[in-house]
Structure 1
Amino acid sequence: MKKNVLTLIVFVLTISFSKGQDLNGAWQSTVTNNKGVSVQYVTIVSGGYFSLAIFEKENGKFIGTKGGALSAENGLLTYTLEFTSIDPDLVGTSDSLPYTFTGDKLHVDDKVWSRLDDGSPGDLAGAWLISGRKRDGEIVMRDTSGPRKTMKILSGTRFQWIAYNIETKQFMGTGGGTYTTINGKYTENIDFFSRDDTRVGASLQFNYELVDNDWHHSGLSSKGQPIYEVWSKRLE
């Protein structure tokens, strides 16, 4: 009996430790720049991919973004960039950075990151590519393996979408913030939007459902136009 109890305690501690060391979810770091402005860094890690968004904390003014494939092993974060708004020549390049945990803080890239969520509740957590749209009442699917991509990456509470081309290295736009999924309603609260800072603070609500592992998303766009999109999980 004592052996079984001891085994259970070790198991629970192992799970708790592993959970605390898991990179999946959303992280933030706030830095004051040389002009005295608080700059927010928000990173989402989900489905083997990551995105980093940088914007002014007070007004959501967009500064920059980058992201791509990510793996963690032996204390090193290794990534390959698929997009960056800052220097397109970096697209396709890889690098590794050491990282450590101190309690619930993540130390990487000379910054201390605080966890925003651990990937839960996570109804839509993952990295998704737009794979279809409804036109004239019919869903028209598209190939997601091409160089031009629109990706939406979500943790448990944060989202970011990015439009880019891995072949031309062009960055077309991004936006993100917090989201909820309640009773079939997906609601986005915009913290930054590279194309229009005036959209910061807006909330958009859509209908959503998962059909054969695809995310069906419908409602009105930020411009008030009806949309029906299909998003598929990234597999590569």
Structure 2
Amino acid sequence: MTDSASEFTEDAFLGGQLRLRQPRSGHRAGHDAMLLAAATPAGPGDRVVEFGAGVGAAGLAVARRVTGIDLVLVEIDADLAGLARGNAASNAIAAETIVLDVAAAADAFAAAGLTPDSADVVLMNPPFNDAGRHRASPDQARASAHVATASTLESWVHAARRILKSGGVLTLVWRADGIAEVLAALDRGFGSLAVLPVHGDPRAPAIRVLIRSIKGGRAPTQIHPALMLNDESGVPNKWVQEILAGKGVLPLATL
């Protein structure tokens, strides 16, 4: 990745509370990252790890909302990790950035300082488009950020389960039509699920699901009232706009 200014943009998130430098083309942070951050419970002193952090959008948004967290950004692409590191510094947010494949073995995680039972919170927006139904982008970085392999979700959930403490929280976003895959992956070691369907159009099926789960949790699964991004006329939901502006959180952020 060259450093030509024309290849990057600087974009405002959380109503200008967070400014992120990111590639003009390829995978770019957007609403999914901000909704994931707004659905993630965290408190001062918690070790919060974002998997597949990209330029750091979701993790840095959590850190902007909750002061005093110990934030770790994990990203496989060294160039994106460099941008995440720079974004943390430019926003005066303390964060450790690690170049690591989330599907790597436990010893690679441990060598990077992510030992078993060491994290309080993991949040992640894994590649979730079905390779069999989704035409991959010719941009390799964009394709790898969006298109899942058969083992993507299982390996990411497994890594989260390994590094989370007992009672630790995993929050993730996935495509709504793949919810069965998420529930199956979380059935091994996670419980106390809270599910929030997200609709782009209230007249159409959900496009995303946000899910919060607890390592070792035993409480019944909860399905929250659906989140409508727009009304039937296509007008953006004012409450959602406030959340995207950093003026509120989603119900999943409250344990």
Greater length-normalized contact order (CA 8 Å, ≥ 6 residues apart): 2
Higher strand share: 1
Higher helix share: 2
Which of the two has higher C-alpha Rg?
1
**Bin of the TM-score, shorter chain as denominator length:** under 0.3
Please report the TM-score for the alignment, with normalisation by the length of structure 2. 0.26
